Structure 1
Amino acid sequence: MTNSNSIRKNIKACLFDMDGLLLNTEDIYTITANEALKKYGKGPFTWDVKMRMQGLPGPEAGAVAVKHYDLPCTVQEYMDLNAQLQNDYWGKSAFLPGAKELIQYLKSKNIPIALCTSSDKSKLNKKTDHLKDVFELFDVIVTGDDSRIPKGKGKPFPDVWIAGLAELNEKFNTSITSDECLVFEDGKIGVTSGMSFGAFVIWVPHPESYGVLGDTDAFLNGKGELVKSLELFDATQFGL
């Protein structure tokens, strides 16, 4: 837990990752990755590998898996196989504890909120079509295939957050700066991108990932706070 003296009170906007933070889709990724690896006689898909892939755009994440497991296929072939397997699961995606309630709370307080995900627009729609009533609460949604994010500049680069904040400012005619934002993330790569963006990061790791997180206080370095669930996040300590 970060020292309370570093907690920011001037928060004016909140920006969210999606997979593994709001939705249980990281668990779906694990299931389908294991199914794909099994077809090549490889696996299992372990958290040390998953940690390196969380938050990366699809091609970069696929490249990690192909190289680590020495798969006899191209990155595109691996991605295509995963996509076929995932299509059977996206309709089962569901909110993680506290996620829906936090979004609704921030909306009720008129806090600008943006969804900034590495998923492309097509995959976002597949994951959220049955959850539209909540996702429509977001003021801004930026996906990994957004034209404002240059090729090769997905997470851990901050470009997706920069695009999200710029659109919020345009929509509300405001001049909110990155240090007036909270970024919510579950993966280390996403936390790195949020800190690089200049926001204070609320880090909510997957319960099964703790064994490979390392020294979380040193990693955050006063630029964020680790919470075990969005249910436990206290918005009031940030003046929200």
Structure 2
Amino acid sequence: MAPKTDFPPVRACLFDMDGLLLDTEDIYSQCINAILARYGRPKMPWSIKAKLQGRPMIESNKIFMAWSQLPIPLEQFQKENADLQVENFPHAKALAGVEELLQSLGRTRYWEEVAKTDKAPEKPAGHRVHIALATSSQTVNFHLKTQNQGELFSVFEAPRRVLGDDPRIAPGRGKPLPDIYTLALKTINETLAPGEAPVTPEECLVFEDSVPGVEAGRRAGMRVVWCPHPELKVEYAGREPEVLAGKTGEAGEAGDATPPGEIEDGWSEYLPTLESFPYAHYGIVVPPTEVDNEPFMKATAA
């Protein structure tokens, strides 16, 4: 298949959180390995961790308990794990490039604001890029992880945050199924300025670190950037084209109604880091930092 190249400019960026925006994956491993050590079990390998990433808590716990064979019931494991997470999650830091990326995307609202003033050019150089959060983390853990990252996450407007326990996502319909990203796009379209055309899936760019998350984005009919943990990249060495197409089989029969992509179809790309993000490649024009001093920009940021 010849890769598609004639994409429309990206108008919406949809973000996973764990391991993509925040450096939480090593914290997850630290907590779980501490529990495994208590009961004489070996450390969790990345071959297992890869299956847990991005999935709803109920499903990931089921996979983990089947592998670990811990001599304790699930409820006890959950309590011990939660206690360790309460202690460690507040220390989660933003990953490299994240702050600059979110700030730059936030600055694109300049194109929307300038169009309302007498400074509006006949044809603006760029357009606003809307953003939304789509994380499998449930509300309690989301607040734990972000309690010291308020400024970073302030760019995600409350109506555009979709969490793992969102009642609008049916049980069993978490990643790698597309529902969370379809819903994230819906939250954007429901909050657009009057007269702005709805954003289409093809105009969306999903940012993911997990393999199930990539598959969810592809099944939602969206473009995807895969930025995995280095250890996860090693785990899938040689299978990168399958990952980028969403064809690793994570969804099983449940995904039959929403097919993934095709190998090397041009819809997905791997990036080792979010630093120096290639905005122009996705049709995104970021205004210079000087525009933050415009009166109408100060007003919208207040």
Alpha-carbon distance between aligned partners in 2 of 1:31 and 1:57, rounded to the nearest angstrom: 19
- String of CA shifts for 1:59-92, please: whole Å, max 9, x gaps: 1111111101112233333222111111111121
CA contact (8 A) 2:217 2:224 kept: yes
CA contact (8 A) 1:16 1:116 kept: yes
Which structure has the greater CA radius of gyration?
2
**Pair 1:191 & 2:209 matched:** no
| Equivalence for 1:216 | 240
Q: CA deviation at 1:122?
A: 1.2
Alpha-carbon distance between aligned partners in 2 of 1:36 and 1:228, rounded to the nearest angstrom: 30
Letter paired with 1:171: T
**Pair 1:145 & 2:165 matched:** yes
- Judged with a 3 Å threshold, the aligned counterparts in structure 2 of structure 1 residues 235 and 74 are, in CA distance, closer, same or farther, namely farther
Q: CA deviation at 1:57?
A: 1.1
Structure 2 spans left out of the alignment, 5+ residues: 110-128, 245-262, 285-302
CA contact (8 A) 1:59 1:79 kept: no
CA contact (8 A) 2:205 2:222 kept: yes
Query: Please, what is the CA RMSD of the aligned residues?
Result: 1.6
| Pairing 1:16-35 to 2, within 5 Å after superposition | 16-35=15-34
Letter paired with 1:10: P
TM-score by length of 1: 0.94
| SS of structure 1 residue aligned to 2:84 | helix
- Judged with a 3 Å threshold, the aligned counterparts in structure 2 of structure 1 residues 207 and 172 are, in CA distance, closer, same or farther, namely same
Query: Which range moves more in the overlay, 203-212 or 19-28?
Result: 203-212
Aligned-pair identity (%)? 37
- String of CA shifts for 1:130-165, please: whole Å, max 9, x gaps: 111110111311100001101111111111111111
Alpha-carbon distance between aligned partners in 2 of 1:206 and 1:22, rounded to the nearest angstrom: 12
| Equivalence for 1:114 | 132
**Pair 1:178 & 2:237 matched:** no
- String of CA shifts for 1:113-144, please: whole Å, max 9, x gaps: 00110001111011001111110111311100
Alpha-carbon distance between aligned partners in 1 of 2:6 and 2:66, rounded to the nearest angstrom: 40
Q: Which residue, out of 117, 126, 150, partners 1:132? A: 150
Alpha-carbon distance between aligned partners in 2 of 1:180 and 1:50, rounded to the nearest angstrom: 31
Letter paired with 2:281: Q
Q: CA deviation at 1:218?
A: 3.5
Q: CA deviation at 1:33?
A: 0.9
Q: How many residues align?
A: 238
Q: Which residue, out of 219, 225, 228, partners 2:272? A: 228
| SS of structure 1 residue aligned to 2:269 | strand
Letter paired with 2:147: D
| SS of structure 1 residue aligned to 2:79 | helix
| Pairing 1:70-109 to 2, within 5 Å after superposition | 70-109=69-108
Alpha-carbon distance between aligned partners in 2 of 1:129 and 1:93, rounded to the nearest angstrom: 9
Alpha-carbon distance between aligned partners in 2 of 1:35 and 1:97, rounded to the nearest angstrom: 27
| SS of structure 2 residue aligned to 1:126 | helix
| SS of structure 2 residue aligned to 1:87 | helix
Q: CA deviation at 1:176?
A: 0.9
| Equivalence for 1:205 | 228
Alpha-carbon distance between aligned partners in 1 of 2:41 and 2:6, rounded to the nearest angstrom: 44
Q: Which one has a larger percent helix, Structure 1 or Structure 2?
A: 1
| SS of structure 2 residue aligned to 1:182 | strand
CA contact (8 A) 1:21 1:186 kept: yes
Structure 1 spans left out of the alignment, 5+ residues: none
| SS of structure 1 residue aligned to 2:96 | coil
CA contact (8 A) 1:37 1:43 kept: yes
**Pair 1:163 & 2:169 matched:** no
| Equivalence for 2:66 | 67
CA contact (8 A) 1:59 1:76 kept: no
Alpha-carbon distance between aligned partners in 2 of 1:217 and 1:6, rounded to the nearest angstrom: 17
| SS of structure 2 residue aligned to 1:82 | helix
CA contact (8 A) 2:214 2:243 kept: no
Greater relative contact order (Cα < 8 A, sep 6+): 1
TM-score by length of 2: 0.75
